[in-house]
């Protein structure tokens, strides 16, 4: 495929690009010889000119230079693909120049409609319902006088009502989106205009503007960082809205722009030109160049501040707007607002088509019958019954009768069905809003059904896609327990030595003796403070290590008011623990660390940081104490550090291992800590070799790694730490309950693999009882494919055989949309896949393999995924699995998957309201999800299914009586029933009983629903309403219509009253048939009702009473005299219903209609009970002898896995600290503020 790279000289292929790189290599080599960092000059991909690129590995130069082209996918694509932007070019402070490119401004839009498009777009969406289109067609038919047998308003009024109710609901939803957009677009920001900072609305910011942000501000748009208040123009940001991580990340401006500072004059004169890639959704990549004063500088993602981030611990910073509004990476990842419809809606569309076909068949039969009858009999009967005006043949009469019967028989799909459906959904939505058990009092947040059209879908969920941070966890790390020198601390014991449960009433350790303690820190084991006060050497050394071995930055604006800027919340928790126990990390410089130890200020020389990476899974520091002692302190994963310990530590290692197993069993994240004393001579030799390795041009990483391994040997074990990544309340129990309901859980998180897996074990998603947990971390497409296939081979070896059911199906339907059936693995498995590998797995040729393998696993965890990848995973499962999906999250990075899933749930958490605003349902805590699904979802699904079954049944029974009557009325389109009965049947007589059942019915109450999650499974399998169930309803309706026509017909045929007068007339027959029908459908709804309330009783008996009251009133002499034409059935009610034989026939009709239903249900429950029947039987037995309430148990996790170095660290942060580039001037309080826990002032405090 021919591509253009945009160079001065024409390059028509990748080979051409590589050739041009090879031509320049002589320049690269000579430039590299004299410097550690090399300026590589090549023709810019974006256009003419030069670009400065820094590279540090000589042996990889060829591959890296070539790879630069791979990193610019959007820029170097052939420009023949229409008007799509392929490259962005802009100038700072030059709006006129930038306006020519017509870049989007910073206004965003998440709403679907505006004032002018609402009506046409909303009507278009609503008429996608086939039934709505059908009723519109029916209305047109009723406007034709020759075939109309009912008034036009009988269709118009309910149709307009349905459209209006749905339209108002959609308008309210969209109005809320408009409010949200308006709120965001009108946020204020300071923009540099004509040399002055002016406050502008976000929506008015344009590409090329320079804006000022201050601490805790949201980032307005995607910015190139120019300068900041921090040393070397570093800026700290929190990216929770983008990737869910709350640990601080560091961005740094170019040196050439850092010089601008906050000098408005210099910033106004800044006229740099930026060329960069087109807008895209890749959060972790950015490539471009800045041209300033004839020089070009490379730009990457480390110099970008993305919209959705928050500025932290930085007084001010200036940025140049690169992407605005819809072009920002956040909005590129947000997905589109889609029109969601439930599976029952889609099924009803299919069923309505089936009913239309059935209706057409009935009308065709009756029309043919009319043609034959008119030809054989009616033609000669015209003297008494003349043909209608314009009818001159039997065939034309049959044609008109076809359309007349379409109007009469349209009640098989009455429009009241859709009115009722909307009312039921609205009512069940109110139950969610009103549920006090889903109300969170701490922040006054009730549950909210933001969409009222998806309730029953909540009862069919098979896959849950959950964010981690803020959804499963609280984003709070707590130092919970520790093991020091073989003794475990953290548990609390009573006087008898029994361990007691820690709760809010447990006495906390009093740290008031320490003026530098963090007041928020809580610890309950007083013996640890006692050990510290008794100057226990291992304990002091343990906390000294925690106060020295880290990359935390302190901030002390007021004396004693310490704030730690931690690269990961884990590190912050450990340093805070050391601070409270008397080892206060106070200040640092590139060469020193200041610690206040038990009231004495000590300054340690920081000689080296052996930085963390994912392979080492540990970090070390080498420090020299004020006394001159050299010590290496190390902390890391137990599996790694245990291999580095001195043999003398074996017995201590066994004791520590027992404690680690206990900690891991409680879901805590553990680290092992150790130290080593160093000899001066050896260290001087080592540091010399370390300097040589760190400045080597070849094999630098390998050489440093060897040196690290060398010095980190024969360590002395100190103990272990246990940190709790606080889960939201009830998360493990909720996940356990949902798993029993056969719901599969997928966690999609932006966190790193180690952190995500730790949470998996903490939540009981992963455990040691699993046969295996597969790690998919291939770096190529082939690697990922092999890893997925190996996993599938282990779970189900037969899946590779040609005889496998899926493989056979795949061969047959290779060109059609595949639905992957549920495949059973030979055990319980988990799967963890990284975002990099997931990118390959989502490609066309691998996605099917991913779905097959992942869906066999009980749990899937996707880590380091972008917001768009979250949506792609959800879309993948929707595409290949016949299952209903639910996505739950609390941040802007979850919006795309919330919009993509069938059901989107937003948690009102710590990360803003974006997820809630895009969701269908929202609440404050993850644990409420089980109640939403197992109670409200299940009830809504059962009620909707019962409603549909009953509604279709009663309307088939009602309508098909007309069909049978046609054979006895010359196919004349005469109705069986009185016109008023036809009008009121669905509107008055049968509407309230079915609504009562659909709003109040429950087979078991909420507590039993939660106790027996297995009751949820039939909804997943769609057992309560499907095509088979519909056919059964249809057959039952046909059978009932036969009974309801022929029993009254037979009972009336040649019948005499007791006084000898005949009652075998049309009006008496119509009254008897409609009375039989109404009583039969009332008995039927009584059989369908599981939960009787006063409302149900009132609606059923009330509807029958209203029927008889209206019937006797309308058929009275008075009504006939007043409205003679409208009420022709004078006296029929009192004459017919006073006869015993009529009531006997009614009783016979009811018995024949109901008896088969009762018999079938009884035999089915006895001979072939469903799993739900068995569970309901258990509940009935349990109700007879209610069990005593079970004591609340503490969920004990079964995992013995210990966390690795589960910090969300950025590799290289240690080097940043050692360089001093992120250091402020030394705090004036760094060497002051002493205390002594043994002083008279504090002697009687604390313990």
Three-state DSSP at 849 gives: helix
* Burial label, 951 (beta-carbon count in 10 A; 0-12, 13-18, 19+): buried
* Burial label, 1094 (beta-carbon count in 10 A; 0-12, 13-18, 19+): exposed
Render the burial of 267-303: b for 16+ CB within 10 Å, e for the rest: bbebebbbbbbbbbbbbeebbbbbbbeeebbbbeeeb
List the beta bridge partners of residue 296: 291
The token duo for 921 is 């349902």
Placement of tokens 């971390």 in the chain: 777
Sorted by sequence, the CB contacts under 8 Å of residue 732 that are 6+ apart come out as 667, 762, 763, 764, 1195, 1197
> By the 8 A CB rule, do 891 and 467 touch?
yes
List the beta bridge partners of residue 499: 493
d(CA 1043, CA 1047): 6
The token duo for 68 is 């630069």
* Beta strand extents in 950-1009 (DSSP E only): none
DSSP labels for 295-361? EEEEE-GGGEE-TT-EEES-SEEEEEEEE-GGGSHHHHTS--------HHHHHHHHHHHHHHHHHHH
d(CA 885, CA 1014): 18
DSSP labels for 1156-1171? HHHHHHHHHHHHS--H
C-alpha Rg value of the chain to the nearest Å: 38
Q: Name the region of 494 (left: φ>0; alpha: ψ -120 to 50; beta: rest).
A: beta
The token duo for 586 is 């106070």
* Burial label, 1201 (beta-carbon count in 10 A; 0-12, 13-18, 19+): buried
* Burial label, 219 (beta-carbon count in 10 A; 0-12, 13-18, 19+): buried
Three-state DSSP at 931 gives: helix
Residue whose C-alpha is closest to residue 949's, from 1015, 1026, 1040: 1026
Residue 467 annotated as catalytic:
yes
List the beta bridge partners of residue 213: 317
Listed in sequence order, the DSSP H helices in 143-285 are 153-185, 240-243, 255-258, 264-269
Angstrom distances, CA of residue 479 to CA of 174, 582, 695, 699: 45, 15, 39, 39
d(CA 830, CA 765): 8
Listed in sequence order, the DSSP H helices in 93-129 are 95-99, 118-126
DSSP state of 440: B
List the beta bridge partners of residue 445: 440
Residues in the chain: 1247
Catalytic, out of 174, 243, 467, 611: 467
Three-state DSSP at 182 gives: helix
> By the 8 A CB rule, do 978 and 1070 touch?
yes
Helix (H) or strand (E) holding 994: helix 991-1000
> By the 8 A CB rule, do 1010 and 947 touch?
no
Adjacency order of strands within the sheet including 310-312: 248-252, 234-238, 310-312
d(CA 420, CA 424): 6
Catalytic residues: 467
């Amino acid at each position: 495929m021919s591509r253009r790279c945009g160079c001065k000289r024409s390059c028509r292929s990748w080979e051409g690009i590589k050739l041009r790189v090879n031509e320049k290599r002589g320049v690269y080599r000579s430039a590299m010889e004299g410097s550690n960092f090399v300026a590589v000059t090549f023709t810019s991909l974006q256009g003419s000119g030069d670009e400065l690129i820094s590279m540090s590995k000589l042996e990889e130069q060829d591959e890296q230079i070539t790879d630069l082209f791979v990193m610019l996918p959007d820029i170097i694509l052939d420009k023949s693909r229409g008007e799509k932007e392929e490259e962005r070019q802009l100038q700072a402070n030059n709006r006129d120049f930038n306006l020519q490119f017509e870049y989007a401004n910073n206004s965003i839009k998440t709403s679907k409609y505006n004032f002018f498009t609402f009506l046409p777009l909303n009507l278009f969406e609503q008429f996608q319902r086939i039934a709505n289109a059908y009723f519109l067609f029916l209305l047109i038919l009723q406007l034709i006088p020759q075939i109309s047998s009912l008034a036009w308003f009988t269709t118009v009024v309910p149709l307009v009502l349905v459209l209006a109710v749905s339209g108002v609901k959609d308008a309210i939803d969209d109005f809320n989106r408009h409010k949200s957009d308006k709120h965001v677009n009108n946020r204020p920001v300071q923009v540099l205009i004509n040399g002055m900072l002016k406050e502008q609305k976000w929506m008015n910011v344009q590409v090329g503007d320079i804006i000022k942000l201050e601490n805790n501000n949201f980032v307005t748009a995607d910015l190139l960082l120019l300068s900041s208040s921090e040393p070397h123009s570093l800026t700290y940001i929190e990216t929770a809205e983008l990737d869910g991580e709350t640990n601080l990340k560091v961005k740094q401006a170019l040196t050439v722009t850092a010089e601008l500072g906050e000098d408005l004059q210099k910033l106004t004169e800044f006229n740099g030109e930026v060329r960069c890639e087109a807008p895209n959704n890749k959060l972790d990549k950015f490539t471009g160049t800045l041209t300033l004063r004839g020089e070009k500088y490379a730009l990457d993602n480390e110099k970008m501040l993305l919209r959705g981030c928050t500025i932290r611990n930085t007084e001010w910073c200036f940025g140049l707007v690169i992407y605005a509004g819809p072009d920002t990476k956040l909005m590129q990842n947000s997905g589109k607002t889609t029109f969601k419809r439930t599976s029952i809606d889609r099924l009803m569309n299919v069923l309505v088509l089936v009913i239309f076909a059935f209706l057409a068949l009935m009308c065709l039969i009756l029309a043919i019958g009319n043609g034959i009858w008119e030809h054989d009999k009616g033609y000669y009967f015209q003297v008494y019954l003349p043909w209608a005006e314009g009818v001159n043949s039997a065939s034309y009469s049959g044609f008109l009768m076809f359309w007349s019967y379409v109007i009469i028989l349209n009640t098989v799909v009455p429009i009241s069905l859709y009115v009722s459906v909307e009312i039921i959904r609205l009512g069940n939505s109110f139950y969610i809003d009103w549920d006090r058990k889903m109300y969170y009092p701490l922040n006054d947040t009730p549950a909210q059904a933001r969409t009222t059209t998806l309730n029953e879908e909540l009862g069919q969920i098979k896959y849950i896609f959950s964010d981690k941070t803020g959804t499963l966890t609280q984003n709070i790390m707590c130092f919970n327990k520790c093991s020091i020198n073989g003794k475990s601390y953290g548990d609390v014991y009573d006087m008898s030595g029994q361990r007691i449960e820690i709760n809010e009433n447990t006495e906390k350790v009093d740290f008031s003796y320490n003026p530098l303690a963090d007041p928020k820190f809580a610890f309950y084991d007083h013996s640890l403070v006692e050990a510290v006060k008794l100057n226990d050497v291992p304990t002091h050394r343990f906390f000294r290590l925690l106060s020295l071995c880290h990359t935390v930055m302190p901030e002390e604006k007021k004396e004693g008011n310490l704030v730690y800027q931690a690269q990961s919340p884990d590190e912050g928790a450990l340093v805070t623990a050391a601070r409270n126990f008397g080892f206060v990390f106070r200040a640092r410089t590139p060469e020193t660390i200041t610690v206040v130890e038990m009231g004495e200020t000590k300054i340690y020389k920081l000689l080296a940081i052996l930085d963390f990476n994912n392979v080492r899974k540990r970090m070390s520091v080498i420090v020299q104490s004020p006394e001159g002692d050299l010590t290496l302190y190390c902390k890391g994963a137990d599996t790694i550090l245990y291999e580095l310990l001195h043999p003398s530590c074996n017995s201590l290692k066994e004791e520590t291992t027992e404690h680690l197993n206990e900690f891991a069993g409680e879901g805590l994240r553990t680290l092992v800590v150790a130290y080593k004393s160093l000899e001066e001579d050896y260290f001087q030799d080592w540091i010399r070799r370390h300097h040589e390795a760190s400045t080597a041009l070849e094999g630098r990483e390998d050489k440093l790694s060897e040196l690290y391994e060398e010095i980190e040997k024969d360590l002395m074990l100190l103990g272990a730490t246990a940190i709790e990544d606080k889960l939201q309340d009830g998360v493990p129990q909720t996940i356990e309950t949902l798993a029993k309901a056969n719901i599969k859980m997928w966690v999609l998180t932006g966190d790193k693999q180690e952190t995500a897996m730790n949470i998996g074990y903490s939540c009981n998603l992963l455990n040691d009882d699993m046969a295996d947990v597969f790690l998919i971390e291939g770096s190529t497409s082939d690697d990922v494919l092999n890893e997925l296939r190996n996993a599938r081979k282990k779970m189900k070896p037969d899946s590779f055989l040609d005889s496998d059911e899926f493989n056979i199906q795949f061969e047959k339907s290779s060109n059609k949309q595949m639905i992957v059936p549920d495949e059973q693995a030979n055990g319980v498995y988990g799967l963890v896949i990284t975002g990099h590998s997931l990118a390959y797995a989502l490609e066309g040729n691998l996605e099917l393999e991913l779905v097959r393998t992942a869906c066999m696993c009980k749990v899937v965890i996707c880590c380091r995924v972008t917001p768009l990848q979250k949506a792609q995973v959800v879309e993948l499962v929707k595409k290949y699995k016949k299952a209903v999906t639910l996505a739950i999250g609390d941040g802007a990075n979850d919006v795309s998957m919330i919009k993509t899933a069938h059901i989107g749930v937003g948690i009102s958490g710590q990360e803003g309201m974006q997820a809630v605003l895009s969701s269908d349902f929202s609440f404050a805590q993850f644990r409420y999800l089980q109640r939403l699904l197992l109670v409200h979802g299940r009830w809504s699904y059962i009620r909707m299914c019962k409603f549909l079954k009953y509604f279709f049944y009663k309307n088939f029974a009602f309508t098909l009586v007309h069909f049978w009557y046609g054979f006895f009325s010359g196919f004349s389109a005469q109705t069986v029933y009185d016109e008023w009965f036809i009008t009121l049947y669905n509107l008055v007589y049968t509407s309230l009983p079915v609504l009562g059942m659909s709003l109040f019915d429950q087979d078991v109450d909420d507590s039993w629903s939660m106790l027996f999650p297995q009751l949820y499974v039939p909804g997943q399998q769609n057992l309560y309403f499907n095509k088979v169930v519909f056919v059964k309803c249809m057959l039952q309706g046909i059978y009932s219509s036969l009974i309801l026509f022929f029993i009254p017909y037979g009972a009336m045929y040649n019948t005499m009253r007791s006084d000898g007068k005949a009652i075998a007339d049309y009006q008496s027959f119509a009254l008897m048939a409609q009375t039989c029908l109404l009583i039969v459908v009332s008995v039927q709804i009584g059989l369908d009702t599981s939960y009787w309330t006063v409302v149900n009783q009132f609606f059923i008996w009330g509807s029958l009473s209203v029927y008889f009251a209206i019937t006797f009133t309308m058929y009275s002499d008075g009504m006939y005299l007043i409205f003679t034409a409208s009420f022709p059935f004078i006296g029929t009610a009192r004459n017919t219903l006073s006869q015993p034989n009529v009531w006997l026939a009614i009783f016979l009709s009811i018995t024949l209609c109901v008896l088969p239903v009762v018999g079938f249900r009884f035999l089915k429950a006895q001979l072939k009970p469903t799993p739900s029947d068995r569970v309901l039987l258990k509940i009935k037995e349990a109700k007879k002898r209610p069990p005593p309430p079970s004591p609340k148990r503490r969920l004990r996790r079964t995992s013995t896995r210990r966390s690795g170095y589960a910090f969300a660290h950025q590799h290289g942060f240690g080097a940043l600290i050692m360089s001093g580039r992120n250091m402020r001037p030394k705090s004036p309080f760094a060497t002051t503020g002493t205390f002594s826990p043994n002083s008279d002032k504090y002697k009687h405090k604390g313990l």
